[in-house]
C-alpha cells in the first residue's frame, strides 16, 4: 500500500505526508522549508497552552461544584434551615455534653451532679459564657406545615420536599408557628435504663473518653 501523500502549502508539490507537518487550518508543508518547523513548535505550544487552560477551567469548575456541595451539606446538617445560623442537632448536643462531662471527670472538676457548680463547669466546657445559649435544631414534618414551609427560601423549600421534613431552631419554629405531633411514648423501665447504661459504658464511652482526652491534651498544650 503506497504511503499517503499531501500537497505542500509552500511549494505546492504532492509529497509524502511523513515529510510534512501541520501549519494550521488543515494545511501541511514540507519540513525542509524555512519557518515550517518553527510554525510546528508554535502550534504545539499553543495546543499545550490551550489544554492547560482547559484543565484549569475544569478543575475550577469541579472545585466550585465540591464547594457548593459542601455548602449544601453544611446548611442541611449544621444550620437552622430558616435563619441559617450555626446550630447543633440534638444528637450533636448529646455527644458534646457527654464529651464535656468526661473532660470534667478527667480534670476531676465539678463531677458531682448535685453540686450547684456542676452546671457552671459544664457550660465552661461547652464554651458558653454568661447569657450564651446553644442553638439546637429539631426535625419537624412538612405535612401540615406547608404554609410555614412556603415562607422559606426556594432552595430550602426544595430540600424540604425532598426529605419531607424541615430542620429548625426553637426561635424559627416559634416564629413560623410550626406544629409537630409528638407521639405518646411509654416511659422506659429501670431494666431498660440499665441496659442502655451498660451499652453506653461498653460500646460508646471508650470513644467519648478518648475524644475528651484529646481535647484536654490539646487545651493543656495551648496553655
Residue 219 has pLDDT above 80, yes or no: yes
**Residue 75 parent element (H or E):** helix 36-78
- Mapped onto helix, strand or coil, the DSSP state of residue 210 is helix
Q: Is residue 199 in some structural domain? A: no
Q: String of b and e for 3-18 (b: at least 16 CB within 10 Å)?
A: eeebebbbeeeebeee
Cell (9 digits) for 132: 450564651
- Residue 12, helix vs strand vs coil: coil
Instruction: Find, among 56, 74, 35, the residue nearest to 167 by Cα.
Output: 74
**Would residue 103 count as lying in a domain?**
no
The predicted-structure confidence for 76-88, as pLDDT tens digits, reads as follows: 888 999 998 988 8
Is 182 inside any structural domain?
Answer: no
pLDDT 10s digits, 44-71:
888 899 999 999 999 999 998 888 878 7
Q: At 185, is the pLDDT very low, low, confident or very high (cuts 50, 70, 90)?
A: low
Domain of residue 54 covers 5-73
| Backbone φ and ψ of 109, nearest 5° | -130, 125
Please report, to the nearest 10 degrees, the dihedral formed by the alpha carbons of residues 136, 142, 148, 149 taken in order: 90
Tell me, yes or no, whether 39 lies in a domain.
yes
Q: Would you say residue 123 lies in a domain?
A: no
- For the segment 194-199, the average pLDDT, to the nearest whole number, is 86
pLDDT mean over 82-97? 89
- Domain for residue 27, yes or no? yes
What is the predicted pLDDT for the residue at 110? 67
Phi, psi angles (nearest 5°) of residue 181: -85, 120
Average per-residue pLDDT for the chain: 86
Cα 46 to Cα 23, 24, 41, 53: the distances in Å are 12, 11, 9, 10
DSSP 103-167: HHHHHT-S--TTSTTHHHHHHHHTT--TT----EEEEEESTT-HHHHTTS-HHHHHHHHHHSEEE
**Residue 121, domain member (yes or no):** no
Give the number of domains in the chain.
Answer: 1
Strands, sheet with 165-169, edge to edge from the N-terminal-most edge strand: 88-89, 136-141, 165-169
Tens digits of residue pLDDT in 110-156? 667 777 778 888 888 888 877 778 889 988 998 889 999 999 989 88
Task: Judge whether 173 and 83 are in contact, CB under 8 Å.
Answer: no
Number of other residues whose CB lies within 10 A of the CB of residue 208 = 16
CA distance 116 to 118: 5
DSSP 3-state of 29? strand
- Asked if residue 52 is part of any domain, the answer here is yes
* All residues at 6 or more sequence positions from 196 whose CB lies less than 8 Å from its CB, including other chains: 188
pLDDT at 80: 93
Amino acid at each position: 500500500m503506497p504511503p499517503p501523500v499531501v500537497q505542500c502549502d509552500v511549494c505546492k508539490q504532492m509529497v509524502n505526508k511523513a515529510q510534512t507537518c501541520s501549519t494550521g487550518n488543515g494545511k501541511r508543508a514540507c519540513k525542509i522549508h524555512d519557518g515550517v518547523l518553527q510554525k510546528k513548535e508554535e502550534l504545539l505550544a499553543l495546543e499545550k497552552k490551550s489544554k492547560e487552560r482547559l484543565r484549569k477551567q475544569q478543575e475550577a469548575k469541579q472545585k466550585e461544584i465540591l464547594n457548593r456541595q459542601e455548602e449544601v451539606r453544611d446548611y442541611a446538617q449544621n444550620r437552622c434551615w430558616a435563619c441559617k445560623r450555626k446550630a447543633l442537632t440534638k444528637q450533636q448536643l448529646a455527644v458534646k455534653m457527654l464529651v464535656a462531662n468526661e473532660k470534667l471527670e478527667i480534670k476531676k472538676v465539678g463531677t458531682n451532679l448535685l453540686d450547684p457548680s456542676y452546671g457552671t463547669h459544664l457550660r465552661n466546657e461547652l464554651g458558653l459564657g454568661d447569657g450564651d445559649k446553644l442553638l439546637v435544631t429539631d426535625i419537624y414534618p412538612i405535612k401540615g406545615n406547608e404554609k410555614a414551609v412556603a415562607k422559606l427560601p426556594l432552595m430550602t423549600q426544595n430540600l424540604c420536599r425532598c426529605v419531607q421534613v424541615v430542620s429548625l431552631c426553637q426561635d424559627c419554629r416559634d416564629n413560623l408557628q410550626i406544629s409537630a405531633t409528638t407521639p405518646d411514648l411509654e416511659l422506659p423501665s429501670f431494666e431498660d435504663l440499665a441496659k442502655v447504661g451498660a451499652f453506653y459504658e461498653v460500646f460508646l464511652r471508650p470513644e467519648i473518653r478518648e475524644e475528651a482526652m484529646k481535647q484536654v491534651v490539646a487545651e493543656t498544650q495551648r496553655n
